[in-house]
Amino acid sequence: MNPDSPESDRPAPPGVEPSAPSTPDDPVTDRPSGGGPPDVVADSGPVPAEPPRRLARTGVTVGGVVLALAVLGAPLGLLWAALAPDTPVLKTTEGAIYAESQPEQPIAADGWFSLLGLAFGVLAALVLWFVLRRRRGPVGLLAAVLGALAAAPVAWQVGRRVGLATFDRLLDTAPAGQAFTKPADLRAGGVDWLLGVLPVPHGNLLLPAFGAAVTYTLLAGWSRWPSLRPEPEPDPTAFSWVSAGTPAPPGAPEPPAPDAAEPPRG
């Protein structure tokens, strides 16, 4: 027998079966020490979608806010009609003309509507921020913007109709040369109809929604809570490194005074 031959080439002793040589290509399967099957990691699957009930409650909340703000547009229109000045006109054979060459009343009417609309949007955002605390975030912002968009046309139509019936009657029955007034109306805003079905406001009618969006966004940016909802204040003792019940370590003994007697030595 060649002594230089590898150990695997040597014959096995009698009565001992030779073991099969292991190859590096054999797959290695991780098994637990108990001999059981390998551990299988369960797939949690896709994250379930938002429950339909929660979506329904969100829709009801947004719809209720939009309806409430749209109703509040009526008193906003009455306030605008009371503050905006009427424009003096003269009756002619062709209709009514301005009594002044360059009247300022129409510009004042647009200005009053702009100021009142911005104030309405700001107040609406503030009220929704404190009332709908559980809906703070995109839902509250959407409700505020849509509600302000719905309130603006309502305020415009209600305000412009105050005194409009009297103006139309005088326009039809008054003799030529008679002076009367025209109620306030908007010249820098209105509603366009997309495809004849969808109303699209523009001009001054967008200012209430603009004020609501800016105010609500600023409130969210200045909130000290990441979730925008009030959270309980953390207990300062919970983050202390030393527990309140742990005794303080004993202090070092003070050095003896210079004139003090030395303790007896054993």
Query: How many Cα atoms are found within 13 Å in the side-chain-facing hemisphere of 215?
Result: 23
Average pLDDT over the chain, rounded to an integer: 78
The answer to whether 43 and 122 have CB atoms below 8 angstroms apart is: no
**d(C-alpha 76, C-alpha 117), whole Å:** 8
For 78-112, b/e burial (b = at least 16 CB within 10 A) is: ebbbebbebbebbbeeeebeeeeeeeebbeebbeb
Angle at 95 between CA 174 and CA 163, to 5 degrees: 60
Residue with tokens 């979730």: 227
Per-range mean pLDDT, top range of 113-122, 199-208, 239-248:
113-122
Q: What is the pLDDT of residues 55-102, one digit of tens each?
A: 888 889 899 999 999 999 999 999 999 999 999 999 888 888 888 888
The pTM assigned to this predicted structure is 0.66
Residue 33 tokens read as: 């020490």
**d(C-alpha 118, C-alpha 128), whole Å:** 16
**d(C-alpha 155, C-alpha 118), whole Å:** 13
Write out the E strands in the chain.
87-92, 95-98, 179-182, 189-194, 198-203
The answer to whether 98 and 87 have CB atoms below 8 angstroms apart is: yes
Residue 123 tokens read as: 């107040």
Q: What is the pLDDT of residues 137-157, one digit of tens each?
A: 888 999 999 999 999 999 999
Which residues, 6+ apart, have CB-to-CB distance to 245 below 8 Å?
none
Residue with tokens 């997309």: 194
Give the per-residue SS3 of 93-157. Answer: CCEEEECCCCCCHHHHHHHHHHHHHHHHHHHHHHHHHHHCHHHCCHHHHHHHHHHHHHHHHHHHH
pLDDT at 29 over 60: no
Per-range mean pLDDT, top range of 75-89, 166-180, 221-235:
75-89
Which pLDDT value is given to residue 250?
61
Which pLDDT value is given to residue 116?
97
pLDDT at 205 over 70: yes
DSSP state of 200: E
How are beta strands 179-182 and 95-98 bridged, if at all? unpaired
- Tell me which of 163 and 237 has the higher pLDDT: 163
The answer to whether 125 and 144 have CB atoms below 8 angstroms apart is: yes
